[in-house]
Structure 1
């Protein structure tokens, strides 16, 4: 059987996606039907039907996992909707500033609702600009509401957030002292990130400094609403959200530096892993960063024991690992975008690059096209619109983003060092110029969209048939594609 781990990973991922559309009473019958199909296939078939039986069995496990997560976590928490109470929460991620509101996710560590679970998440929307930091403790009295009742694929459900609350004023937020039992690590990294971002902004004020802080450190305090809107219209808003792209830039930069020193591949891998973990802690271990780290660690650890790794199996195992702990994570658009971009590079890019003699511009175009085509459906679902200028914008801005992230991070670290802080000015200036280039592209694309509104196409809501169709197509590709393209540890690239 070809790629059994890849088949299991993709079958589990897409069964979780289909299960999101099934009503609760239909999920257990679906599990029984899939188990029956698996047993029947094993009984009447031979080796040729083993992949079919494996797919049915894995799909049954996926639907059952979704049923357990729905009944054990989602429904009890959603039953709290409409209840008012006092909550003490710890901020789990970076706050989002949008217009006149501040949004953040809080992990409830105490409340006065007797029927509430021991621990759950609430997304708070505060009217006004609130001084909220990751790891901070906040006490507030408010009324709970269900989060995004009308959406299937949204960031709340995929992050395990089933409730939200509105706070009419930032003055209603109370900041209690940090409990003695708190380790202080989250606060330590949040303070370090804030100090680094402040140092960058002192060297690079205005929008260039804000973009460098957002792309390299994940700090969006200095970004204006107009800048965010321009990035969204140009189809490059993903550059402002830390993701696998940013982790890949950090890992790639460090790998290149260590290779210049002539270090062994195993030593290189261990050092890269340590630095990437530190970078993840610095930027807050957001879900997209955690996913990127998981895929990085799996690929590098596999290459420590094998000379080459099948990328299709790598992608399937990554999908399995990233959804095994939380079956509802499949509803997180950012997870699907990460996997979609990787799938484009694995499945589509080798067919776009049929000749090895392509130049760097053509290679960059092929990579951007492959990733964009495979992420276009879910990107449309997440923002509700598709920018027809997205491909052109990404072709120019993604290489510039690599410069912003790498030199911005180097400059921020050098600026924070006592006595040699001025050394970090040069890399920050270059990073700021690259950020300014991205801003000019985004602004020009934004003006195009304002002049030609048809460049933004409205996207519809996906249906269950759409998800099933995509699942069948990718599973067929998994079974049909030859096992030719592999990642080689000696070259660090894909080879045939």
Structure 2
């Protein structure tokens, strides 16, 4: 058996996860069909048939969700076909900012004399703006015109000659003002280092180019993506603070969820943050109705909901990295049969996430940091968690008017951030990188991922200590 008796596709307590994977297969097959990639479709057919055999007890439902994914994708992609090389005008909302001239957006394109909604998110690369001082931010309204290019498989980018921005509207305006208010409060207590804002809101836009490059070399850029750690910590800290007021569980959980939802919206919301909040929401709902579910089942249900709403998010690196890393962690935990020390267990969990996402990382970037796993573990413990919890406590101290304590905590967080920045810049000079070009990166990714998976499986089922 691939996993212990607590988890297998043959007798799974996580059917929604199986159906989520089936739905993802359907979307991929639909995209391959539309693109005319027959050879890739044939290659993918083998893994899908193996998956069907492993999940044969759910085969009718597996096929149903496969065709659901295929149909959702096919209908939406057929609604608006854009050819690379064509000149289009696009307007919509900035979803995620990678750099001042590089962001992800969603919205509509002006085609054949009318505005048509884009079924997918589009990467916008811009050369200049109407005003040189204009820089994108999550939630802002953008307008751009330029030539469409194929950035990756099924992913289009707009090489824009001109762009313009307008302030956010509706909910995005509220969350943008809330984010700005929080930033002003942090600055009032002496926090000026951009790392604190990036750690809390999950945006690297304010970081210097030198620091962004250093984070990539060290292999820890992913810790600035708001994910389960950020959302879970936010919920727990808020929940514990509310416990001081002796509120009923239902009221406490509901209010904590509302504040966590506002925090997630302030992040863009990022796909990883949306996934984490949806999992948290489902977990709380199932707990309230006393119908406990396995974490993997909740992950699968979250994925199904997100793909029904936006099936083409499946092709985005953020979606793939978020779900695959979380799947790797949960599968390792469910397969593990032995209690270990916190340090060893945390290291192996980090290894499971890194091993699961390694093929995608090599495919997208062609490089990996050989120090990523140990440094990620250290950074999360000594910087990220203290920074997140400290920021929340500082905001609480400001709320209850304990300003002297807030100033003291702000100075401590500022010192921690500056120390972390210096350490990362120094480590980036020493961190070894593995750089590969296609097709070598695919073979190495498969080999390393298989090796890591085998090693983790061995430690999960043996009495040996790593």
Settle same-fold status: TM greater than 0.5.
yes
Residues 297-337 of structure 1: CA deviation (Å, up to 9, x unaligned): 11221122235322332222222122122221211222222
Asked if the contact 1:203/1:428 (under 8 Å) is kept, the reply is yes
- Structure 2 CA distance for partners of 1:173 and 1:401, relative to 1, 3 Å: same
Q: 1:12: which partner in 2?
A: 23
Cα separation, 2, equivalents of 1:138 and 1:330: 23
User: Deviation at 1:127?
Assistant: 3.7
In the TM superposition, residue 232 of structure 1 has moved relative to its aligned partner by 0.9
SS at match of 1:456: strand
Shift of 1:227: 0.8
Q: Classify the secondary structure of the residue corresponding to 1:145.
A: strand
Match of 1:411 in 2: 394
> Structure 2 CA distance, aligned partners of 1:94 and 1:345?
25
Structure 1 residues 255 and 379: CA distance shift in structure 2, 3 A: farther
Q: How do 1:71-470 residues align onto structure 2 when only pairs under 5 Å count? A: 71-73=78-80, 75=81, 78-79=82-83, 81-83=85-87, 89-97=91-99, 101-108=100-107, 114=113, 116-118=115-117, 123-127=123-127, 130-138=134-142, 142-148=145-151, 151-152=152-153, 157=155, 162-167=156-161, 184-201=170-187, 203-204=189-190, 209-218=193-202, 220=204, 222-258=206-242, 263-306=247-290, 308-352=292-336, 354-355=338-339, 358-399=340-381, 400-412=383-395, 414=397, 421-449=403-431, 452=432, 455-458=433-436, 460=438
Which residue number corresponds to residue 482 of structure 1?
none
Deviates further, 270-279 or 239-248: 239-248
CA-CA distance at 1:295 after TM superposition: 1.4
Q: Is the 8 A contact 1:146 1:163 kept in 2?
A: yes
Which moves more between the two structures, 18-27 or 215-224?
A: 18-27
Q: Distance in 1 between matches of 2:164 and 2:294?
A: 52
Tell me, which stretches of 5 or more residues in structure 2 are unaligned?
1-10, 454-466
Alpha-carbon separation, structure 2, partners of 1:175 and 1:12? 36
User: What do the CA deviations read for 1:426-456 (whole angstroms, capped 9, x no partner)?
Assistant: 333333344345434433431113xx4xx32
In the TM superposition, residue 219 of structure 1 has moved relative to its aligned partner by: 5.0
Identify if the C-alpha distance between structure 1 residues 268 and 81 changes in structure 2 by more than 3 Å, giving closer, same or farther. Answer: farther
Q: Distance in 1 between matches of 2:110 and 2:69?
A: 33
Please tell me the root mean square deviation across aligned C-alpha atoms, in Å. 3.9
TM-score normalised over the length of structure 2: 0.76
CA distance in 2, matches of 1:221, 1:340: 25
Contact 2:136 2:165 in 1 (8 A): no
Answer yes or no: is the 8 Å Cα contact 2:275–2:303 preserved in 1. no
Instruction: Report the CA distance shift for 1:276/1:147 in structure 2 as closer, same or farther (over 3 A).
Output: farther
| Total equivalences in the alignment | 421
